[in-house]
Amino acid sequence: MGRGPDPGPALRRGRKRNRGGTSTAAAMFGMTTRSRGREQQQSSHSKSARNKLDGSGERLPSEGCGKRKKAKLDGISRRVSSERSSKKGKSSQDRDILEKRPKKRNRGEDEDDVSCSSAVSSPLREPYMPDGTEISKPIDSAISDKYRDMQEEYYAKIARQMKMPMLCELTPPNCLVNDPTLLHIRESSKKIVLRAAQFIVGLSSSFDGEPLAWCSGFWIDLDSEKRTGTVVTTAHLIRTKRPSPDAWLCKDEYASDVKVTVHLRGGAVAKGRLLYHQKHYNLAFFRVKMHQSIQLPHFIDKVECAQDIFELGRDESVKLVIHHGRVKYSNPDVYERNHHMRIEGPHRDREYDNGGPVIDLDGKVVGMIDSCPEGSFIPSSILLKCFHLWRNFGRIRRPHLGLKFSAISLLNPVQVEDILIEHKINEGLIVHEVSAGSPAERCGIRVGDVIECLDGKCVSTVVELDNMLLSIVVNSGDGLNSDLDVEIQVYFPRRYLRRIKILTVKVSEDGEFVARGNRRNFVTPIKHQEEGGGSSYVAN
């Protein structure tokens, strides 16, 4: 076939434009028909992907599914037809995507909510100052000032990093790090201590605007409905005066209007409201509004001699205070209450852990630290009975015998053997002091006599005696009058005989007072009508 007439340059250009799909300008940028097709295909894919993703990168439901969900929320059960779904225009689709994208925050909002930001911090780079050989002219003051500013920013960033708990090494020393003798229990004890840390708090008090004391404490009860918890600690927190180290003289003074702040884990604080304090056992209970979930401890009332324990508390930075020791059975000294037990271990400052828990190697609470006297704690058997009485009756009462004791079984074995040989006894409580004018004194009990039984049950330690006295009140439902008859079996070593005595003792929530007898009328002045008018004294 022959070639037709030439259509002319313009028509040829038009055919080329229509056939290739590109303009002369596009050809200048190297765009061919095939490359433009690929670009359109990629553009359509990216638009499709954007339609399925919102601004935060989360996948959105398809258009039809979205309408069906909306129809159900509106109470319409009919199915939305695909024909109606296809009528939705591109502009409305783009508008839906824009509405689902998160709004851009203002600068102030970003600064206030730094903790929620996912932006990566800038890497740490030490500023560099070039010397004179690296540049053609001397360093001017502007460069020096800039270098100093960068140095300040550099060290400030290091300081901020070192405040992170992952990087901070300025933690107080404790036995789980520094004591090599605990190597065999170190790893397991770390986990136990961290579990126990969940129920330990710090408490600070102030009186008349002046700081009074810092103690530790722990949760012992909670009310989920009222979102409140109960913290137990030592009454030293609200003690304003201690004129005498002798606890039996009951001269300590307390203030119920002391301002108490409870320091929780993580740095949060709450107001502590005093519910009750007991002077004899030196206990105080505070109600606290819960700002976080709390963990209650598990108790065990069996404490074995020489078992490993940890004393826990919190210092003024609310950091854990950890000390290791072993339970020591010993008699109380002359100033110490009967219900204390001892901790054998290195001398330590108990400024912060006073009132904190004592736990065993299973993480169970075996007592509460009472630093008066030094190195002692209240066993959980006493603590739980006190808590039971307070929670059920609003007070903690106990019978007052007016006696101080020491256990025969805890004496030096040489002395125990002497007692056994001469008196044929090796258990019981030796009377060391009798309160003047008490029922015990009136019924003939003197220093050196031995209390063997209480209400028909043998007693061998002073802690055991105090548990028996509290059990009497617990079992009676606290429905006691001010007086109570207690039966005791007494061995009188001066006469080598035993007798059953009935003591009518006072039941009180006050501290037990043991008065020392004074012979106020030991000497009486007698005036003689002699020259000079002098006086002489005769013994009664």
How confident is residue 180, by pLDDT bands cut at 50, 70 and 90?
Answer: confident
Q: Is the pLDDT of residue 13 over 60?
A: no
Q: Is the pLDDT of residue 229 over 60?
A: yes
How confident is residue 86, by pLDDT bands cut at 50, 70 and 90?
Answer: very low
Q: Is the pLDDT of residue 505 over 80?
A: yes
Least confident of 91-100, 217-226, 456-465: 91-100
Size of the chain, expressed as the number of residues it contains: 540
Nearest CA to 278 among 247, 315, 305, 307? 247
Q: Which long-range contacts (CB under 8 A, 24 or more apart) does 194-199 make?
A: 195/295, 195/363, 196/297, 196/310, 196/312, 196/357, 196/359, 196/363, 196/365, 197/265, 197/312, 197/320, 198/265, 198/294, 198/295, 199/294, 199/295, 199/296, 199/297, 199/357
**What is the rounded distance in angstroms from the CA atom of residue 396 to the CA atom of residue 163?**
46
**To the nearest 10°, the Cα dihedral for 147, 153, 158, 159?**
130
Residues 6+ apart with CB under 8 A from 210: none
Provide the token pair at 146.
Answer: 């800039």
Structure pTM?
A: 0.70
Across 116-145, b (16+ Cβ under 10 Å) vs e yields eeeeeeeeeeeeeeeeeeeeeeeeeeeeee
The answer to whether 404 and 431 have CB atoms below 8 angstroms apart is yes
Helix (H) or strand (E) holding 38: helix 33-52
The rounded percent of the chain whose pLDDT value lies above 90 is 54
**Cβ count near 414 (within 10 Å):** 7
Higher pLDDT, 430 or 40: 430
Note the pLDDT of residue 239.
95
DSSP SS3 for 447:
coil
The answer to whether 515 and 435 have CB atoms below 8 angstroms apart is yes
Cα radius of gyration (the chain): 42
The residue written with tokens 């001398």 in the block is: 347
Note the pLDDT of residue 519.
55
Packed helices 33-52 and 90-100: angle between N→C axes, nearest 10 degrees: 50
Higher pLDDT, 127 or 425: 425
pLDDT, mean of residues 419-445: 95
How confident is residue 157, by pLDDT bands cut at 50, 70 and 90?
Answer: confident
Higher pLDDT, 170 or 55: 170
Rank 72-86, 122-136, 216-230 by mean pLDDT and report only the highest: 216-230
Note the pLDDT of residue 352.
87
The residue written with tokens 């909670």 in the block is: 222
Helix (H) or strand (E) holding 213: strand 210-223
Strand partners, 537: 525
**Cβ count near 224 (within 10 Å):** 8
**What is the rounded distance in angstroms from the CA atom of residue 81 to the CA atom of residue 63?**
12
Note the pLDDT of residue 282.
95
Packed helices 380-393 and 462-475: angle between N→C axes, nearest 10 degrees: 20
